[in-house]
Amino acid sequence: MNPTILDVDTGIDDALAIAYAVRSPALEVLGITTCFGNVSAEEASCNTLTVLDYLESDIPVYQGAGEPLFRKYLGEKAVAIHGEDGLGNRADRILKRGIEKQHAVDFMIEQIKRRPGEVTLVCVGTMTNLALALMKAPEIAGLMKRAVIMGGAVTVPGNVTPWAEANIHNDPEAAEWLFRSSAPVTMVGLDVTMQTLLPEEELDRWRRKNTPLASFMADISEFYIQCYKRNYPGIRGCGLHDPLAVGAVIDPTFVTTVPMHVQVDLEGSLSLARTIGDRREQPDRRPNADVCLTVDADRFLAHFLENTV
Partner 1 sequence: MDDTTRIMLDLNAGPENALAVLLAARSPRFTLEGITSVFGTSGAEEGARNALLLAELAAPDRDIPVAIGAAAPLLRECKPAGAGGWALPEPKRKPVPASAAELIVERLNRHRGRITLICCGPLTNVALALVQDPGIADKAKRLVIAGGALKAPGDVTPVSERNLWSDPEAAFRVFRSGIPITLLGLDVTREAALPPELLRSLVKESDAVADFLEQIIRTRTSIRGTGTSSGIPAGDALAVAVAADPGLVETEGFSVMIEIKGTVSRGATLVDLRKGLRPTVHNCDSALKVNNGRLAAGWTELMSRAAKGGAR
Residues 167 to 206 in contact with partner 1, rule: CB under 8 A: none
Minimum CB–partner distance for residue 228 and partner 1 (Å): 12
Among 117, 138, 162, 259, binds partner 1 (CB under 8 A): 162
Does the active-site annotation cover 204? no
* Secondary structure of residue 253 in the 3-state scheme: helix
Among 36, 62, 163, 304, binds partner 1 (CB under 8 A): 163
255-276 core/surface letters (b: 16 or more CB in 10 A; e: else): bebbebbbbbbeeeeeebbbbb
Is the Cβ of residue 25 or residue 234 nearer to partner 1 in the bound state? 234
Interface map 249-288 toward partner 1 (x if CB under 8 A): ------------x-x-xxxxxxxx-x-xxxxxx-xx----
Minimum CB–partner distance for residue 3 and partner 1 (Å): 35
Residue 132: name the closest of 86, 64, 221, 183 by CA.
64
Among 232, 252, 256, 307, binds partner 1 (CB under 8 A): 232
Residue 262: name the closest of 288, 283, 284 by CA.
288
Minimum CB–partner distance for residue 157 and partner 1 (Å): 4
Residue 159: name the closest of 72, 227, 218 by CA.
227
Beta strands at 146-150 and 120-123: parallel, antiparallel or unpaired: parallel
Is the Cβ of residue 56 or residue 284 nearer to partner 1 in the bound state? 284
Is the Cβ of residue 107 or residue 163 nearer to partner 1 in the bound state? 163
Helix and strand numbers, DSSP H then E, in the chain: 12, 12
Residue 60: name the closest of 123, 128, 111, 130 by CA.
111
Catalytic residues: 9
Catalog residues that contact partner 1 under the rule CB under 8 A: 156-159, 162-163, 232-234, 261, 263, 265-272, 274, 276-281, 283-284
